[in-house]
Amino acid sequence: MQENGQVPTGSRSKAIVKALILAAFIVGAIVLVRFTPVKGYLTTGQLGRFLDTAGLWAPLVFILIYTVGVCLFVPGTFLTGLGAAIFGPYLGFIYVWFGAILGASAAFVIGRTLGREFAASLVGDRLKKYDEAIERNGFATVLYLRLVYFPFTPMNFGMGLTRVRFWDYIAGTGLGIVVGTFIFTFFIGTLKEVWTSGDWGQLISFKVFFSLALFGFSFFIPKIIKKLRGET
């Protein structure tokens, strides 16, 4: 079977089985996170106390949790907020960025391994040109979708079903999420620092106003990108 080509007829049943496993994995992940006690551990207090027990390994543990969380369909903004609240605006940004990259990579590989064969079997002549185009322009496509805040986790799995090259996907993701990730971690981390200090006078500090300005600006980024591309 060619990874980027059509699936031979004899392999279709195998592709269907893999696709069903992928579907079961996605459903199971959503149920696990939303309807089991796991949900109770995904709070700033619970996760913060757990990371305290990890000592110097806390950043790596958090990055691992972020990676697994992405694969289990925990919203990326939620995980990012946890990282910013626990580690602050700067270290939080670094750990969140690495966690997001690893999570995106893992989810992409899962989607590619379990779903690409079935997706390829559905690609007819009308869709083939789009499938080939995303392979040729993979980096630019991924970068654009990240800059306009396309839903993070669905895109990770969905892109695995296309012909986009792995390293184009990772490079586009890594660059595309830098701005949004920094803005969000800086905003949440700054507010958490003020809350923790108890010095409410800091609410009128330059840092707080700057974080609010960045956060507000982030909502206009997708419109700016689309306008630059000549879209309405």
User: Which pLDDT score is estimated for 61?
Assistant: 96
Mean pLDDT for the stretch of residues 35-54: 86
**Per-residue pLDDT tens over the stretch 89-145:** 899 999 999 999 999 999 999 999 998 888 877 766 666 777 788 888 889 889 988
**Per-residue pLDDT tens over the stretch 67-79:** 999 999 998 889 9
Q: How many CB atoms lie within 10 A of CB 85?
A: 23
Confidence of residue 36 (pLDDT cuts 50, 70, 90): confident
User: Which pLDDT score is estimated for 222?
Assistant: 73
Interhelix angle 89-122/166-176, nearest 10 degrees: 140
- The domains of the chain are located at 9-177, 181-228
Instruction: Specify the higher pLDDT residue, 226 or 23.
Output: 23
Average pLDDT, the chain: 84
Report residue 124: phi and psi, to 5°: -95, -170
**Whole-model pTM over 0.85:** no
